[in-house]
Homo-oligomer: A and B are copies of this chain.
Amino acid sequence: MKYSRQRECIREFLSGRQDHPTAETVYTNVKKEFPNISLGTVYRNLSLLTEVGEIQKISTGIGPDRFDWNADPHYHVFCRECGSVMDLKLENINHINILAGNEFEGRIDGHITYFLGTCKACLQKEADSQNPQAEYTAACMEHQLLTEKTQNIS
């Protein structure tokens, strides 16, 4: 399939990234190359790319959806502190589908799993705040700037 210049740019922006940008972030960045692009176009193309399996959409139920250039099934960790979403290289755990299938009358053909926790940088921040003497490591703040922040974390 041949892509429009805008769609290609969106795909390009995503490709190879470690973080998992929101539609909004994709929008503000693609805008640098296409100042007139509209948020609707970004959403439209992200949905399209998701549909054809070039990227994947991650919904945590907390904050907006995120997009991952790696469409291969893999897992994610959601940091409760800073809201960042990180990849997890976890061996496949599809055996849980079998376990689930044994208890279910219909057909199970997949699962959505994401892990909840605290990222390295936020653990560090936690430790530092317990020890006021210690200098703040800039690590976490830096991390927060680098990674996507999620609103509405309760």
| Interfacial residues, chain A to chain B (CB-CB below 8 A) | 51, 59-62, 65, 75, 77, 79, 86, 88-91, 93, 96-97, 99-100, 103-123, 154
State whether A91 touches B99 (Cβ < 8 A): yes
* Contact with A104, one of B88, B100, B112, B113 (Cβ below 8 angstroms): B88
Q: A112-B113, A113-B113, A114-B111 are in contact. Are A103 and B119 (CB under 8 A)?
A: no
Interchain Cβ contacts under 8 Å between A and B, 28 examples: A59-B60, A60-B112, A61-B61, A61-B65, A77-B106, A79-B106, A88-B103, A89-B103, A90-B96, A91-B99, A93-B99, A96-B96, A100-B115, A104-B115, A104-B117, A105-B120, A106-B117, A106-B119, A106-B120, A106-B121, A108-B116, A109-B116, A109-B118, A110-B117, A112-B112, A112-B113, A112-B116, A113-B113
